[in-house]
């Protein structure tokens, strides 16, 4: 498995209102890039109907903060002229494609018909699955920061059911299960450790988690959780630690949970020696 990671920014040439969950703006930008560069595989990837989508992107960020709003916030999100808004997209490549046209890509795009923005692709890299790892150690502490609403789905019962259940808390086994399923869909080296083992290997030491509802569009409301959780790795099992190292690194590229491909479940994972429990990563 090879993962294409693109980091970019846009600079509006005029101020304009955008959708309340700005990952939808990013999706529009990606289709514009595919059209401008005539990269056929990029468009086909973005329109994939696979359950585990081979891509994931973030919302727009401004000054390190993801841009989205709650339904009870009457103020629209406005992209202001001259300001820089960044985003990241990760795409799993079926083969090593020709991506040289993306390096240093600079062009003017039109969003929403006539709203002009300058797009700059600042970083393009391809990561092999062998180097996707945090190299975690027994008893090490890590902090997971959930930057956008995260939805962790409970396993469905054996009897077929259309009912989905989500937990508003970062349960290690559910995180592991979500990432393992996605990883094993595409990776050459499969992860075989049972998901429930993560509940014993990752011990919660501290957290600041809160439920969060976002306005996805005019009608749909999506509820997840944001915040941070500190875990301690409480296992010496080399196989399990290796799996955790890979999956938590993978999470920073491909997001976590339901709707990960469209900007939900964006996370950062930070190995630490000592954690300041007063850290606050809530949105300003």
> Measured between alpha carbons, how far is 262 from 269 in angstroms, rounded to an integer?
20
Say if residue 107 is in the same domain as residue 125. Answer: yes
Which carries the bigger pLDDT value, residue 273 or residue 213? 213
Please report whether residue 281 resides in a domain: no
Of the candidates 74, 103, 129, which is a domain's last residue?
Answer: 129
pLDDT at 225 over 60: yes
User: The whole model's pTM is what?
Assistant: 0.90
pLDDT score for 161: 66
Residue 41's pLDDT is what? 82
Q: Calculate the alpha carbon distances from 277 to 113, 119, 202, 229, 230 in Å.
A: 46, 38, 18, 10, 9
The enclosing domain of 108 has a CATH number of 2.40.30.310
Q: Tell me the pLDDT tens digit for each residue of 254-270.
A: 999 999 999 999 999 99
* Structural domain range at position 33: 2-129
Residue 232 has pLDDT above 80, yes or no: yes
106 has pLDDT over 90: no
What is the pLDDT at residue 149?
A: 96
Within 10 angstroms of residue 43's Cβ, the number of other Cβ atoms is 15
pLDDT classification of 282: cutoffs 50, 70, 90: very low
pLDDT band at 206 (very low <50, low <70, confident <90, very high): very high
Q: Which of 111, 129, 147 is the last residue of a domain?
A: 129
One domain, residues 143 and 104:
no
Domain match, 122 and 161 both: no
> pLDDT tens digits, residue range 109-149?
999 989 999 999 888 889 999 999 999 999 999 999 999 99
- If asked whether residues 196 and 99 sit together in one domain, one would say no
**115 and 136: one domain?**
no
pLDDT-based confidence at residue 275 (cuts at 50, 70, 90): very low
Look at residue 284 in the predicted model and tell me its pLDDT. 38
What integer pLDDT is reported at residue 108 of this predicted model? Answer: 86
3-state helix, strand, coil in the chain (%, to 5): 25, 35, 40
> Are residue 212 and residue 96 in the same domain, yes or no?
no
Instruction: State the pLDDT confidence band at 164, using cuts at 50, 70 and 90.
Output: confident
Top pLDDT among 168 and 84 is at 84
Is 282 part of a structural domain of the chain? no
Burial class (CB in 10 A: 0-12, 13-18, 19+), 245: buried
Residue 136 shares a structural domain with residue 219: yes
Report CA Rg, the chain: 19
Residue-level pLDDT at 283: 46
Domain match, 55 and 105 both: yes
Mean pLDDT across 72-77: 90
Task: Select the more confidently predicted residue: 242 or 272.
Answer: 242
Say yes or no to pLDDT of 78 above 70. yes
> For the ranges 8-17, 31-40, 60-69, 179-188, which has the lowest average pLDDT?
31-40
Instruction: Please state the domain count of the chain.
Output: 2
Same domain? 80 vs 29: yes
Q: Which of 103, 129, 155 is the last residue of a domain?
A: 129
The average confidence (pLDDT) of the chain is 89
Which letter does DSSP use for residue 278 in this model? T
Residues 30, 147 within the same domain: no
Least confident of 54-58, 251-255, 276-280: 276-280
Q: For residue 230, what is the domain's CATH number?
A: 3.30.70.1900
pLDDT at 22 over 90: yes
Checking 153-158 for CB contacts under 8 A at 24+ apart, the result is 153/178, 153/257, 153/258
């Amino acid at each position: 498995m090879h993962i294409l990671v693109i980091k970019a920014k846009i600079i509006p040439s005029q101020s304009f209102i955008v959708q309340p969950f700005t990952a939808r703006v990013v999706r529009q930008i990606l289709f514009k890039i595919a059209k401008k560069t005539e990269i056929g595989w990029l468009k086909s990837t973005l329109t994939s109907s696979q359950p585990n989508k081979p891509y994931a992107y973030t919302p727009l960020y401004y000054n390190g903060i993801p841009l989205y709003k709650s339904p009870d916030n009457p103020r629209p999100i406005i992209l202001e002229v001259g300001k820089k808004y960044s985003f990241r997209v990760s795409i799993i490549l079926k083969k090593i494609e020709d991506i040289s046209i993306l390096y240093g890509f600079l062009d003017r795009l039109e969003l929403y018909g006539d709203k002009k923005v300058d797009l700059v692709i600042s970083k393009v890299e391809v990561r092999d699955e062998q180097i996707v790892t945090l190299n975690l150690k027994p008893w090490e502490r890590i902090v997971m920061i959930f930057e956008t609403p995260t939805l962790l789905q409970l396993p469905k019962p054996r009897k077929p059911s259309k009912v989905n259940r989500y937990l508003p808390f970062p349960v290690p086994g559910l995180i592991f299960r979500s990432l393992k399923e996605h990883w094993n869909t595409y990776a050459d080296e499969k992860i075989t450790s049972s998901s429930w083992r993560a509940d014993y290997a990752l011990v919660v030491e501290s957290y600041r988690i809160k439920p969060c509802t976002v306005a996805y569009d005019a009608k749909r409301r999506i509820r997840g959780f944001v915040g941070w959780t500190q875990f301690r790795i409480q296992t010496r099992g080399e196989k399990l630690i290796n799996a955790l190292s890979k999956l938590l690194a993978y999470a920073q590229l491909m997001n976590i949970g339901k709707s990960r491909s469209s900007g939900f479940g964006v996370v950062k994972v930070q190995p630490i020696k000592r954690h300041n429990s007063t850290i606050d990563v809530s949105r300003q």
